[in-house]
Each structure stands twice: as structure tokens, then as C-alpha cells.
């Protein structure tokens, strides 16, 4: 039985951790090195920013445009580099996007970055350019908007460098069966809009200060590092009703401070976006001083003791993939 905490937030005094690599935080769970992916893994469209050949695209947006309007499964392979662009993907079939990596298991080794910030565009001095096909400024501010079903993204960092002072999203995921593997998602306020559908995040690094994982998805975060770079609320789950499957599951993940964030500050594990908001931290490693909200189950770390919780919600079991998503989870690579 999982119940909800609606209004009370715990205080987390976070200590800076210069090493966001998950393996250091989970001695009991090895985040091993994996093989390299330094060539086109199939017949993927290729993105090469610096010196594209005749058959390559210089930006991700050009490759996405070349996907066309079909529904067959397709893939895009990106070469190392920083791509300063804002991309919205609405392809009608399954799509995989691969970043070049010498070690696909570790996000810290990623070499492909998609980044927007205050001055990314020649036609605006701000990062907030409204896209015509989507209502709402949150989605429109994203560096990468995955707007469709059956998309997976591997070994790519996505950044919105706007910083403090505005809702500036790095990634919006709107759709079913969206998976991100060893991706880095960087922002400050509203970093990752896990907006709707079933979603899987494995070995990802998500950084922000306030409401930086938010939305209405049924999202599983496994072996991820969630890093605060300022004070605020980590999650803002927006489950809409008592029957809404939306839920954020943080499983064997690390909640910590971002590199460079040395000031002790007030951070909250979450604030409810609506009264049905639902989040669980299970088998996680919580930062020193953590007094989290929502549910907790079998966590470790100096902040995991629950004796001083003011409004603790007790979970009697860990949430499973099938509890979260129902039915089949074959769309996600659960071995990653
Ligand atoms: C998307 O994935 C689901 C679940 O695996 C599958 O049933 C469906 O056929 C897929 N759709 C496309 C267009 O690939
Ligand atoms: C953005 O452009 C403005 C106006 O040209 C400039 O003052 C500012 O320093 C730029 N910011 C960044 C991050 O480059």
C-alpha cells in the first residue's frame, strides 16, 4: 500500500560530491564499464558537426527532418561534439539516437552534447523560443523534446544553460515507451519534464536546483545520479487523479549535490504538483542530512535514517517495473 504525503517537505543538507559516477555511490551494485560505440551501429543517419561528409548531417535537427513521415524503425548516430540547437522530434515510428562513446555504461564518458542557453539563437537573446506545434512555454523551452512513442536515446548529454531565474527545460519527454540510457540532463529550474507515458531512465545523470524532475509520466530512474546545483525541490510530480499511473520511482539511485555546489542549502526531495503527486525513493543512497518526503524503502547512506522524519510515509515493499508500467516492459532495455 502506497500512500501520499501532500504538503510537507523534508530538509536535505547536501554535501558536494565531485564525482557523480554512480559506481562510487553504489559499492553493492557495480556500474561496470561497457563496450564502446564509436561507429555507426547500423544504417543510422549520421550527424557530424564539424566536418560533415556528403552523406552526413551537420545538426541533429537536419537528421530529424530527414526521418520523414513514415513509421518504420529508424536510428540516428551522432559523432562527438557540442551541438548548439533546439530539437523537437515527432517521428511516427520507433527511433533510437546514439551518441559516440568509448564506454557506453558510464554517462561521465559521453562525448556528444546538445546545448541551448541564453544566446543560443541568432534571432533571440533568450533561450525561450516558442515552438508553434506545442502549447505551453515549458515544452517550448526544451533543448530536446521527445514527442512521440518508442524513442530511445543513448549516451548523449542535453543541457539548458540558461541558469537561475527562469523555467528553462533541457529535456521534455512526451510519449509512451521513452527510454534514456546513460544520458546527462543538465539545467537549473525545471530540467527534465518527464511529462507523460511510460518512461525509463537508466544510469542517467540529472542536474538542477528546483522542480528539476517534474511532470506526469510513469517514470523509472534506475542507477541514476540526481544532483542538486542549487536550493529547491528535486521533484514535482503531477499525477492528476487517484487512478493516474503517473509515478516517479527512484531505484538504486544516488541523490547528491552537483560538482561545484559546495554551499549547504535547503533542498527538498520533492514538492507535490497537485494533490495526487506520487514519488518513491527505494534502495537509494541519500545525501548526508537527507530528510526526504514521499515514500522510502531500503535506502542507505548517512541521510537514510528515518527516526527524525516528521511526516514519514512507510512503504512495505519496493515498487517493481510491472507495478509501475503494468504489462510488458520489453520496450525498455532493463539490462542496461
Ligand atoms: C511501440 O512499442 C510498443 C510496446 O513495445 C509496441 O506495442 C508498439 O507496436 C510500438 N510502436 C511502434 C510504432 O513501434
Ligand atoms: C548574451 O548576449 C548578451 C547581449 O549580446 C550579452 O550581454 C551576454 O553576455 C550574452 N550571454 C552569454 C551567456 O553569452
Confidence grade of residue 188 (pLDDT, cut at 50, 70, 90): very high
Ligand number, closest to the Cα atom of 328: 1
| CA of residue 196 to ligand 2 center, whole Å | 34
Domain residue ranges in the chain? 45-120+134-325
The answer to whether 254 and 19 are in contact (CB under 8 A) is no
190: left (phi over 0), alpha (psi -120 to 50) or beta: left
126 pLDDT above the threshold of 90 = no
Atom of ligand 1 nearest to the CA of 94: 14
Query: Which range has the worst mean pLDDT, 9-13, 65-69, 157-161, 270-274?
Result: 9-13
pLDDT of residue 121: 54
141: left (phi over 0), alpha (psi -120 to 50) or beta: alpha
The answer to whether 33 and 103 are in contact (CB under 8 A) is yes
Mean pLDDT score of the chain, rounded to an integer? 82
What is the tens place of the pLDDT at every residue in 311-323?
566 778 888 888 8
Q: Is 211 considered catalytic here?
A: yes
124 pLDDT above the threshold of 50 = no
Q: Is 251 considered catalytic here?
A: no
pLDDT of residue 310: 58
122 pLDDT above the threshold of 70 = no
Of 60, 84, 14, 3, whose CA–CA distance to 289 is shortest?
14
Confidence grade of residue 154 (pLDDT, cut at 50, 70, 90): very high
Query: Which range has the worst mean pLDDT, 5-19, 143-157, 194-208, 283-297?
Result: 5-19
| CA of residue 41 to ligand 2 center, whole Å | 39
| CA of residue 255 to ligand 1 center, whole Å | 32
Residue tagged active-site, from 17, 149, 190, 223: 190
Ligand number, closest to the Cα atom of 124: 2
Ligand number, closest to the Cα atom of 331: 1
Would the CB of 44 count as within 6 Å of ligand 1?
A: no
- What lies within 8 Å, CB to CB, of 307 at 6+ separation is none
**Cα distance between residue 327 and residue 323, in whole Å:** 9
Of 1, 13, 5, 2, whose CA–CA distance to 268 is shortest?
13
325 pLDDT above the threshold of 50 = yes
Which residue's CA is the closest to the ligand 2 atom numbered 12? 119
**Cα distance between residue 118 and residue 86, in whole Å:** 12
pLDDT of residue 327: 81
What is the tens place of the pLDDT at every residue in 261-292?
754 556 788 888 888 888 888 888 877 545 44
Would the CB of 72 count as within 6 Å of ligand 1?
A: no
Mean pLDDT, residues 93-111 taken together: 97
pLDDT of residue 145: 94
**Cα distance between residue 209 and residue 266, in whole Å:** 10
Query: How big is the CA angle at 301 (ends 297 and 307), to the nearest 5 degrees?
Result: 60
CATH number of this structure's domain 45-120+134-325: 2.160.20.10
- What lies within 8 Å, CB to CB, of 185 at 6+ separation is 157, 158, 159, 170, 171, 191, 192, 204, 205, 206, 207
pLDDT of residue 292: 45
Mean pLDDT, residues 27-50 taken together: 84
| CA of residue 331 to ligand 1 center, whole Å | 8
Amino acid at each position: 500500500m502506497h500512500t501520499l504525503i501532500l504538503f510537507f517537505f523534508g530538509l536535505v543538507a547536501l554535501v558536494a560530491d565531485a564525482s557523480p559516477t554512480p559506481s562510487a555511490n553504489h559499492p553493492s551494485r557495480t556500474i561496470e564499464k561497457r563496450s564502446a560505440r564509436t561507429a555507426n551501429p547500423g544504417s543510422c543517419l549520421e550527424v557530424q558537426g564539424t566536418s560533415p561528409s556528403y552523406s552526413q548531417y551537420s545538426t541533429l535537427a537536419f537528421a530529424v527532418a530527414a526521418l520523414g513521415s513514415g513509421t518504420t524503425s529508424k536510428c540516428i548516430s551522432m559523432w562527438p561534439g557540442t551541438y548548439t540547437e533546439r530539437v523537437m522530434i515527432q517521428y511516427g515510428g520507433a527511433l533510437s539516437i546514439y551518441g559516440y562513446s568509448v564506454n557506453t555504461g558510464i554517462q561521465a564518458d559521453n562525448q556528444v552534447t546538445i546545448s541551448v542557453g541564453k544566446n543560443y539563437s541568432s534571432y533571440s537573446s533568450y533561450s525561450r523560443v516558442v515552438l508553434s506545434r506545442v502549447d505551453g512555454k515549458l515544452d517550448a523551452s526544451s533543448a530536446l523534446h521527445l514527442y512521440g512513442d518508442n524513442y530511445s536515446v543513448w549516451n548523449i548529454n542535453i543541457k539548458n544553460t540558461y541558469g537561475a531565474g527562469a523555467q528553462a527545460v533541457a529535456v521534455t519527454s512526451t510519449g509512451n515507451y521513452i527510454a534514456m540510457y546513460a544520458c546527462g540532463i543538465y539545467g537549473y529550474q525545471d530540467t527534465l519534464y518527464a511529462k507523460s507515458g511510460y518512461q525509463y531512465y537508466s544510469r542517467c545523470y540529472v542536474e538542477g536546483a528546483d522542480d528539476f524532475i517534474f511532470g506526469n509520466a510513469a517514470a523509472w530512474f534506475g542507477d541514476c545520479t540526481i544532483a542538486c546545483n542549487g536550493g529547491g525541490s528535486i521533484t514535482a510530480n503531477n499525477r492528476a487523479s487517484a487512478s493516474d499511473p503517473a509515478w516517479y520511482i527512484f531505484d538504486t539511485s544516488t541523490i547528491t549535490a552537483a560538482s561545484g555546489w559546495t554551499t549547504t542549502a535547503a533542498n527538498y526531495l520533492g514538492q507535490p504538483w497537485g494533490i495526487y503527486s506520487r514519488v518513491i525513493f527505494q534502495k537509494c543512497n541519500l545525501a548526508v542530512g537527507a530528510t526526504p518526503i514521499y515514500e522510502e524503502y531500503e535506502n542507505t547512506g548517512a541521510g537514510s535514517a528515518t527516526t527524525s522524519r516528521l511526516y514519514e510515509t512507510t512503504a512495505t515493499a519496493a515498487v517493481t517495473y510491472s507495478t509501475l508500467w503494468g504489462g510488458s516492459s520489453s520496450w525498455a532495455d532493463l539490462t542496461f
